Each structure stands twice: as C-alpha cells, then as structure tokens.
Amino acid sequence: MGLVHCPFCCYTQNQHHKQTDSHSHDHLHSEPSSTSSSLSSQPSLPSVPSLTSQPSQQSQTTHHKLITTINGHSSPISSLTLNSKFVYSGSSNSEIRRCSNDPYALQTSNSTNNLVSISSRSKSSIKSMVILNDMLFSAHQDHKIRVWRIETEKGSDDNNNTKQDQKLFKCIATLPTFNDRFSKLFLSKNYIEARRHKKFTWVNHIDAVSSLALSKDGFFLYSASWDRTFKIWRVSDYKCLESLKNAHEDAINAIVVSSDGVVYTGSADKKIKIWKKNENKKHFLIGTLEKHRSSVNALALNKDGSILYSGACDRSILVWEKCNSGNETMVLVGALRGHSKAILCLVVVDELVCSGSADYSVRIWKRGIGEKNYACLAVLQGHRKPVKCLAMEVDSKSRENGDDCSSYLVYSGALDCDIKVWQIRIPLF
C-alpha cells in the first residue's frame, strides 16, 4: 500500500482520474516541500476567529502520560474502534487486530503479544471500522464493506489449566451482498455510468469506501466513498436501501450521523453537506457549509448533535453550532488552531475534542462550560509519522478508584505502524 510514501495530503477525485485503475495503492499525495513550508508559516483561515483562549489554570494542571505503545502491526494503521473490552485496529495491509483496552493490563504485559490477528482474508486496505454489539463492519479500499461476527468459544489457556473465552471472528457478509446485486441486474434504471463508460448497479461503491457510521438505534449503516456517493444499508439483512449519487463534487472522506438522524458528509471539494430524511424516508440536502480552503478529512459530533467539528488540510478545526431557530442549520463560531499540518482525524467525548494531524501530534481541546472558547489541554507527541486515526473513552477504572480527576484514555494510530495509549487527567474544579 502507498500510505507510507505520501502521508501528508489529501485525496481528490481529480487526482484519481490521472492515475491508473490499480487499487493496490492509496490516494494520498504529498505537496512539494516548498509549498508545504510556505503554507505552514501562514495563518490558517485568517478570516475565521480563533476560539482558543490563553492557557487556563485547568490546562496548566492537566496531566497526561503515555501508558504504552502497541507495535504489533507491520503496516500503517488507518482505523481504530472500541468496544467494552478491546481496542480494534485496522491497517493498510488488510489486517484487523485487537488488544485489551485495560490500561493497567497494558502496562504490565507485553503489548505486542496482546494483539490478536483477526483477518487477513481481504488484501485491501482498511479505511474505517465501526462496531455494533457482536458485529464489526470494515470499509475497504477495494470498494467493499465486510461484516465480521464475534463468536464466543470456550478454549484452554497455554497450560491447559483454566477455561477462558476466546473471541473468534468470522466474515459473515460482504456488502453489497450477492442477493442485493443479483436483484438489481435486470432493470436498466438500476445502472449508473462510471468512469470510462463502465456501468454498475447503484448498490455498488465504485471506489474506496472511506468512512462508516451507524444510526443511534443501530438499524442503519451509512457508508461514504471516494466515488462521491454515500449509501444507507439496513443492518438486519445488509440490504442497500438508498444511494445518494453525486452527493459531492469530489471524493467523500467522512460521514457522521447525529442522534436524530441528520447526516453530515465532508469532502475533498472543501464542502460539508447536511442531509435529512423526507416523509418518504429518502435523504435530501438541507444545507451546505463552506469555509474550509482545502479537502475536509474528518468530522465529529458532540453527544447531542448540537456541535459539529470539521478538520481539513488547511490545518484548522472549524466549530459549527446549531442555530436557535429550531432547524438543522449550522453556523460557524470559530476555529481551533495549533496544528502545523493537515488535520486527519477527530473524536469527541464529553467536553473534550481530540485531533490527530500530519504534524505527528495529537491535541486535546476542552470546551468552556457555557462558553464558546476552548483551551488546548495537552499536545501528545511521540509518533514518528502522521496520526491517521483516534479513539477515546472515559477511564472507568480511575473513576472506580475515587480519583479527584476526570480521566480519559486516548488511542492514536499512525502511519508509523504504532498505536499509542495515553491517559489524560483533568482536575475536577
């Protein structure tokens, strides 16, 4: 996979047309060093007000530490996701691995041996993963979505003394399914024209599937693709219910869904679009957010969907908030600045925003209570290449111990093939 060679910049559909049809590479292209240097020295989006305040007492007393580095992968890490017991990582050589998300176990064990290889069946880079109950969905460079079921089987430990649960992963479906594809073959209206006059049924993605999201109730899976479409799948039978053709003018890099079903898509065309279902349960465009100057790479929503964060190659994280008018319109309130290169990933938990960048760093931001300003609580440095994916959760064991701090665990995956596990401790006052 080509991730290692050109890690910094963003894929656009226009660049893709100049390439061959080979899908063994990744569509990431670096800018000339002189251009990158001049861009990093300029203010990002100078017309947008900065929301970053001066260092507060809380930011000065926030503690962070690197718990461990997990180095079981042999290729760049492109996706991370969590469930109650494990952190799952996907890489550009199609491997999905997992290890315990217990920071105390990670500190006292061999972090490499804790990784369990789940799959190497597909030889296609993994772009995104989400988990629902005992199912893991993975999006791939080969235009497919794969569904894995976690099955529990009793097994013996190395000494054959005790029984323990061993999780086995089995690929139970590939989307679109054979039935879905077959049912669309016989009507001409089911075909769309792709590049070089090739035609495919509308249930097929025809380029890399870049991002996945689940509805709050778990009934629907949303997939975004570099083919400029996003699709909605029914989880119960994996059927493709809807495809939004030409949703953007360029590749779609990110998709998120709010708790009330509003869909946000971010694209290499520099735009963020807002979609909602009509009375016929079909999605239609209700708004477009335009302020980024380059490809939008990452989106994240807070818990109630009232705040949207967007990260792009222009080095800024833009903060959008819902209007008080009762509709779904978002207004730009400002930018979070600090990264010196492209923003590649975002995650939000409680009042914390975590951002990963091509500048090899992770930043932790905290929103002020009842205010629209933010403090950068920590800059996590240690990766040797761009940070491509993030996951974050509340450190429940710290709460159980009665600490007088809010504690969080941050997992960062990078193109250096490492996963780093960080602990962030914020005083309660």
Note the pLDDT of residue 189: 77
> Residue 2 domain-assigned?
no
> Residue 5 domain-assigned?
no
Neighbours of 215 (CB within 10 A): 17
pLDDT tens digit sequence for 263-278: 999 999 999 999 999 9
Q: How confident is the model at residue 31 (pLDDT cuts 50, 70, 90)?
A: very low
Half-sphere exposure of 214 (CA within 13 A, CB side): 18
Looking at the DSSP bridge assignments, the partners of residue 320 are: 308, 332
pLDDT tens digit sequence for 152-165: 655 544 444 434 44
pLDDT tens digit sequence for 319-367: 999 987 667 789 999 999 999 999 999 999 999 999 999 999 999 999 9
**Between 35 and 147, the higher pLDDT residue:** 147
Query: Does the pLDDT at position 79 exceed 80?
Result: yes
Cβ atoms of 257 and 233 within 8 Å: the answer is no
On average, the pLDDT of the chain sits at 82
Q: Please, which residues have CB within 8 angstroms of residue 135's CB and are 6 or more apart in sequence?
A: 147, 148, 149, 150, 172, 235
**Amino acid identity, residue 292?**
H
> Residue 312 domain-assigned?
yes
Q: How confident is the model at residue 52 (pLDDT cuts 50, 70, 90)?
A: confident
Range with the lowest mean pLDDT among 34-38, 253-257, 367-371, 424-428?
34-38
**Structural domain for 118, as ranges:** 13-427
Q: Please, which residues have CB within 8 angstroms of residue 316's CB and are 6 or more apart in sequence?
A: 44, 45, 48, 292, 335, 336, 337, 343
> Residue 7 domain-assigned?
no
Q: How confident is the model at residue 55 (pLDDT cuts 50, 70, 90)?
A: low
Nearest CA to 145 out of 128, 157, 162, 159 is that of 128
Number of domains the chain contains:
1
Looking at the DSSP bridge assignments, the partners of residue 370 are: none
Tokens of 97: 């691995």
The CA distances from residue 44 to 30, 315, 321, in Å, are 18, 6, 20
CATH of the domain at 234: 2.130.10.10
Q: Please state, in angstroms and rounded to a whole number, the distance separating the CA atoms of residues 123 and 140.
A: 9
E strand intervals along 245-349: 252-257, 263-267, 271-277, 283-290, 296-301, 307-312, 317-322, 330-336, 343-349
Q: Looking at residues 92-111, what average pLDDT do you find?
A: 77
**Amino acid identity, residue 124?**
S
Cβ atoms of 287 and 274 within 8 Å: the answer is yes
pLDDT tens digit sequence for 390-416: 999 998 776 556 567 889 999 999 999
> Residue 20 domain-assigned?
yes
Note the pLDDT of residue 12: 52
Q: Looking at residues 166-177, what average pLDDT do you find?
A: 82
